Structures are given as structure tokens and as C-alpha cells.
Chain A
Amino acid sequence: MSKVPQFAWSSRVLHWLMAAALLAMLCIGAAMVASLGQYQQLVAIHRPLGALILVLAVIRVVNRQLQPLPPFMTTMSARERVLATASERLLYALMFLLPLVGWGMLSAARFPVRVGPIVLPAILPHSEALYTLLRRAHTVLAYLLFFTFMAHLSAVLFHTLVLRDGLLRRMLPWSPRAGAPGSDADARDRVP
């Protein structure tokens, strides 16, 4: 019984930590726009969580340079491999850009950003024009993150539930064995 080729242990842990953080952030961001009564609590999570995502993004990029990737699955066409690589790069870019644009827009608005007991320094000068630009960019980038996340989710679900090629196993936090129960070795339904 051979082991399923998987992403490195550190890559898998970072992936799921980031997934939880980004999913929470998308939910909080959407709710902040619509909420008056819960705005206070949502903002109190939104800003420190954004700072955490920025830190996690730095760790992930370093980890990405250090850890080898498993080979692409044979069930992925050449075009799908290009798309997967492009969407991965876009997600990495957004993990950096959204927190930095958020921090920058609050700096431009002369608004202190609290993370626990610490107030972060301003990273941009006070400017109404800059605030207006970055505030809009924050929304556009958040929608882009939402749609990229949905595309990523759709692709993984399609491979895992329709093709049943075991794609998800490469990223599972544990290490399933090939042919083990629930490992999806049912080849009958596999699309050629």
C-alpha cells in the first residue's frame, strides 16, 4: 500500500488555517456592509484577523519556496493546470493585497488600526483621494477574492465528488493510504 502524494505537512496546515481565516473574513466583510448593530463586534474581529492573514501570507510564501509540490493529477488537462496555477497566484496576491489595502486606506483616512493592545503605525500619508481610491479597491479586491474562492471550491468539489479522483486527499490534514476505506478507489465511475 503506497501513500497518496500529498502537499507537505506545513503546506497543508497553512492551507487550512488560511482557508478558515479567509472564509471568516469574507463572511465578516459581507456582514459589515449590511450591519449597524453588529458592526462594532465585526470590526473588532475584522482588523486583527486581517493582520493575521497578512502574517500567514508571508509564512505561506516562504513555505511555498521551501516545500516541493506534488505532481499535477493526471485527471487535470493542460488548460486546467494553467488555470489552477493562475488562480493559485491570484489567491496569494489577494492574501497580501486585501490586508495591505485595508491598512493603507485606514492610514490614509487617519484612522488608528488596533490589533489587541497595539496601534499599528500608518503606512500611507493622510489623503482623502488616496482613501477614496483604496476604499473602492478594497471592495473590488474582496469581490475578486470571493469569486476566486468560489472557483477554487467548485473545482475541488468537481474533482472530489464528480471525477472522484481523490484530489482533495492531497490537501487533507491527515495522510490517507491509497485503497483505504473511503479513499475513493472506485474506478468504475471515473471519467476517462
Chain B
Amino acid sequence: MATPHARSAIRARSALVVAIVLSVGAGFLYLGGWFSPRQLTPARLIDTFERVNGPHPGFRRNHAKGVGISGYFEANGAGSRLSKASVFRPGRVEVVGRFALAGGMPYAGDSAATVRSMALLFSLPNGEEWRTGMNNIPVFVVNTPEAFNEQLIAMAPEPATKKPNPERVSAFLAKHPETARAIRQIKAQRPTSGFADSTYNSLNAFEFSDAAGQVRAVRWAMVPLQSVAPPAAATGPAPAANFLFDELIARVHQGPLRWRLVVTIGQGGDSTRDATLAWPDGREQVDVGTLTIDHVEGEATGRARTINFDPLVLPNGIAGSDDPLLSARSAAYSQSFTRRVSEPATASAVTLPEGEKVSQP
């Protein structure tokens, strides 16, 4: 028979067990963000895209309008000095990719002012891959995922005017002078005529490590070998809704398009964690090879449709930097991918005739 003293001791020890188990459970809930309802998570960031752009099932939540591309990359060997990644050894690797316009509206009309993107997947030996998404702007507009989310909300068009609320925009820019400065820098660069003559920048910094283990901060860009032309003059009839994509498709029909992959090497003091800051002119640049795009495919059949161009899928010899946007892009792209592939696919705005692919001899 247990004494009353023993019974109360058992009650106390039972309470201790319950307290320990509840604390462990609460710890997991804390890690899962249950106690921080205002913290920005990948799901909440993608929710913002869906709220601002409306629902577009089956499409990427950003850079929704695009076409698939493919071709190859030929390294000249110059990059092997900087990175041990196999992609820089002389030779050719297969590339699939995607040209797209920034924004979450898959049927929006093309505009020369809209940010253009080039996303690529290099298939390397031994199952390695290098995935990268680049934009035709010199710097990015924000330097944290939280600011990106705020910017999406601040710049969202109002239902009545179809334009952003100027007061909200001013308030956002006052709070984020780095964005105001980046926008000035972006506007100072005139857009080119189309996808083919644009330069696409990595914007985020990465780390190259060479065979000796030396690590260098880098950014890279795809610089067109096509001659660069200004956008068509605004006079005359209104441009077709897909004029940028139509022109791209027509140009690939005529012949392959080429870009040089140029790696810029950062020096001490160049920020690797702030994508709104350009590195100073005069940094060493190395031309590491040539990208050739000789196929363009509609999104319905294109292999690029279901690729998540996660910028942190990198081969040995390339690693992410301390830029918080890289981690956030990886997390948010994964969230967008998971949502869109679970939804029924819808026809894209830009379509090519069934099975049409353009091949160069």
C-alpha cells in the first residue's frame, strides 16, 4: 500500500513528466514557426504573390510567362583557374533553360520595360547540375526576403486605378533607400530590343573554389554575342501581346543565339550579401565559355516547364554566398514548385505549333 506521502510524490513526478513532454512539444511548434505568426515564411511569401497577382494554377508564382529553350555550353577552360567545377573544363555540356518575364501574370502583355530572365540548367557528368536564374538588370531591387515581400505589397496595382498607390510606394522607398538607389541604377540602363540582345546577370554573389582550395567571391553574366539594338520606337501600331517572345522564336528559327559567360571576381570589401550593390568597375572579368541556344519550345511540351531553377543547385566548385536572398529563393522556389505541379496545367500564353522545335545543323 502506498502511503499518502508516496501518493503526492507520484503526483508531483507525474506532473514533471507531463511538463517535460509538453516542453518538448512546444519546442517543435516553436521551430515550426507556430509562435511567430508575423514571421515571413516560404509559404507566406508565395501567398503574397498569389494575393497580388491573383490565382494562376499550374504556373510559376513569379516569372510566370516564358518559353523553354535548350542548347549547349562550350567551356574554353579559362574558368578552371577559378573553380574546380567540371563545367569549366574545356568541352561541351547540354543545357536546358527558360526565357521569361518577371511577374506572376502568365498572360500579361510583353513590355520592353519588364525585367527579362534567363534560367539555365547545365547537365554535368556524374549527375551533377548547375542551375542558375539571371535577370537583365544590373542590380536587384531589394536585399532581404522581407523587403521583397513588402515591395510586392507596396507596388501592387490598386483595383480601381490599376496602378500602384503612390503613397505606399513612397513610404516603402523611404524605408528602403537601397531600393530607391537600385531602381535609379536600373532605370539608368536602357533596355535592349529583346531577349536575344540582353545581358543576364546573376545578381547574387557566389563562391568559386579552385583545385587548391582557394575561395573567390564571384558574380556572373551572360553577355550577348548578338548585336545590341534599342527597343522598337513606341510610334506606330500597338505591339503584339507576345512581341518579345515572337521575336525570340523568329530569331532562333534564323540561327542559334550565343552568349559569353563572363565571371566577375570580387575583391575584399565587395559586398556578397547585398544584391542591390553593384561591384565597382574594373574588377577582373574572365570569359569562361559560350552558351549556344538553338532550340525554343512552348511550355506545354518543353522540358523546362517542370524544372525548379533553384539557384542553390550547384556543382562541386561553386557554392552559395552569405546573400540571404539565395537561401530565400531556394525556399520560395521550392514552395512555388510544390504548389504549381500539384495543380492542373493550363495553356501558356506563348505557344509554338505542336512538336515544333528549331534545330540548327
Residues of A in contact with B (beta carbons under 8 Å apart): 26-27, 30-41, 43, 109-112, 117, 119-121, 126, 128, 131-132, 135, 146, 150, 153-154, 157-158, 161-162, 188-189, 191-192
Contact = CB atoms under 8 A, between A and B. Distances in A.
Contact of A112 (B3, B28, B127): B127
Contacts of B42: 33, 35-36, 39
A59 B129 CA distance: 31
Contacts of B328: 36-37, 39
Given A36-B331, A37-B328, A39-B42, A111 B313 contact: yes
B32 A31 contact: yes
Interface string B20-38: 1100110111011100100
Given A30-B28, A191-B2, 18 more contacts: A30-B31, A33-B41, A34-B32, A35-B33, A36-B145, A36-B327, A36-B328, A37-B324, A40-B326, A109-B306, A112-B313, A119-B129, A126-B306, A131-B341, A132-B338, A158-B14, A158-B17, A189-B6
Interface of B: 2-3, 6, 9-10, 13-14, 16-17, 20-21, 24-25, 27-29, 31-33, 36, 39-43, 45, 126-129, 145, 306-308, 310, 312-313, 316, 320, 324, 326-328, 330-332, 337-338, 341-342
A39 to B, nearest CB: 4
Contacts of B129: 112, 119
B71 to A, nearest CB: 19
A36 B16 contact: no
Contacts of A27: 27-28, 31
Contact of A33 (B32, B312, B327): B32
**Majority secondary structure of chain A interface residues (helix, strand, loop or mixed):** helix
**Most central of A33, A117, A150, A158 by chain B CB within 10 Å:** A33
Contacts of A117: 316
B331 A39 contact: yes
Nearest to B14: A162
Nearest to B144: A37
Given A30-B31, A33-B33, A128 B306 contact: yes
B28 A188 contact: no
Contacts of A161: 13, 16-17
A189 B127 contact: no
Contacts of A43: 312, 330
Nearest to A159: B17
A132 B342 contact: yes
**Majority secondary structure of chain B interface residues (helix, strand, loop or mixed):** helix
Nearest to B307: A110
A140 to B, nearest CB: 14
Contact of B337 (A36, A40, A109): A109
Contacts of B45: 36
Contact of A157 (B17, B43, B127, B324): B17
B21 A153 contact: yes
Contacts of B39: 34
**Most central of B16, B24, B331, B342 by chain A CB within 10 Å:** B331
A26 B25 CA distance: 11
Contacts of A112: 127-129, 313
Nearest to B323: A40
Contact of B320 (A40, A126, A135, A153): A40
Contacts of B338: 131-132, 135
